[in-house]
Structure 1
């Protein structure tokens, strides 16, 4: 909780020292559906949103919220995340985040560090996160990037790896194609695989996803992508 308290203190200090400079610099609202190709009953529909508030040209806060409806278990999980952001320059940003996933009335806190860059048509992100719950810890590493081509097409890829207390490893690898309908509206499709390994056994499952996003403010909306365990597994 010290991490969250630190972010809150930074936010308070910025609010008092730069009250007249506060402005919404970007954000987005997105809708997505994903499922495993071998079993479409294992599916997820998600509605997520983000807004970034700038206090100075270099300092900002980003707030994320999401609802994830899981078809197989007929339950909806929620996610809230706060990012503290330092824009080193127009291309490179650094951040720290704290968030909470909630499902079945149970709360899962997570926190971590992140960095991202945007250079012309290319952009990328790297983050590390740690989640804690009764009885186990989870360490997550995520890497993603994309490159924009002519006529509104963008190709991207992502890799996420999670270690659940050393007993279970989950790896998600995906490739995404995005088409920009207009500067404020994108549609995308994703293909990938999820591999789980535990106690010497492993299994891989292919998945696909589709979605749309409406952005405002900066070209890519908010600076950083979503975090949390709900973002690790498609469908479930």
Structure 2
């Protein structure tokens, strides 16, 4: 999959030389904060600053790049993350993609690849992704699902479910989400949920964020990927 994705991105980057128009179709930048809600665990929190940009190569194909930096207060460390997506846009406001990326934290790294899809049906938008992770020979798989319902032009309500199965360790998170559009290009987000894993009690967490979007499509096709993005507050 890694070779196929890299070849697809390379082919896309070569397309402008053949006369096919290339344009920035969307971009976004956001700042978010999440923390475990238990009073004895509120020093376990995460602050994220990230952005993404998407380049279109004709009406069907695009590539998206994401970068993020995160500060984890509980371990006093700063992590970084980068992801590249190759995306094919289908009729009916649906897209499928493949991605490759890497997390860096405390001198260690996690490489990941995966498949993803996103789309909309009326007032409902959805996104799903399967991720395979590799950290120095240790492997894990993650499945993420999320959906939103637009109550009106300003307010979205939704939910998110993620599960991670690693060698000898499983973890899952379930949350309710909300988004309020301050104006057409700026959204305030919120999340309330639970995270549970082997050897730990279920912990509640809360998150809040502010996101600005740009471009004709109102942002980028896919959300962030990787282990650091999966962990709420941790």
**TM (normalized to structure 2)?**
0.94
* 1:99-121 residue CA offsets vs partner (Å, 9 max, x unmatched): 00001121210000011112232
Residue in structure 2 matched with residue 110 of structure 1 by the alignment: 112
Q: Specify whether residues 135 and 55 from structure 1 end up closer, same or farther in structure 2 by C-alpha distance, changes over 3 A only.
A: closer
Aligned counterparts, 1:123-202, within 5 A:
123-165=125-167, 167-198=168-199, 202=200
- Partner Cα distance (2:12, 2:165) in 1: 36
**Residues 18 and 56 in structure 1, CA contact (< 8 A), matched pair in contact too:** no
- Selected match of 2:44 from 42, 45, 52: 42
**Residues 185 and 218 in structure 2, CA contact (< 8 A), matched pair in contact too:** no
* 1:76-116 residue CA offsets vs partner (Å, 9 max, x unmatched): 10000000000012411000000000011212100000111
The Cα shift of 1:24 comes to 0.5
- Partner Cα distance (1:230, 1:16) in 2: 32
Q: Considering only aligned residues, what root-mean-square deviation do their CA atoms show, in Å?
A: 1.4
Secondary structure of 2:232's aligned partner: coil
**Residues 27 and 214 in structure 2, CA contact (< 8 A), matched pair in contact too:** yes
Segment drifting more, 71-80 vs 214-223: 214-223
**Residues 158 and 178 in structure 2, CA contact (< 8 A), matched pair in contact too:** yes
Residue in structure 1 matched with residue 91 of structure 2 by the alignment: 89
* 1:143-182 residue CA offsets vs partner (Å, 9 max, x unmatched): 00101112501001100000011x1110011111110011
Q: Specify whether residues 90 and 151 from structure 1 end up closer, same or farther in structure 2 by C-alpha distance, changes over 3 A only.
A: closer
Secondary structure of 1:11's aligned partner: helix
- Partner Cα distance (1:55, 1:84) in 2: 11
Residue in structure 2 matched with residue 24 of structure 1 by the alignment: 24
Residue in structure 2 matched with residue 209 of structure 1 by the alignment: 207
Residue in structure 2 matched with residue 77 of structure 1 by the alignment: 79
- The number of residue pairs the alignment matches comes to 230
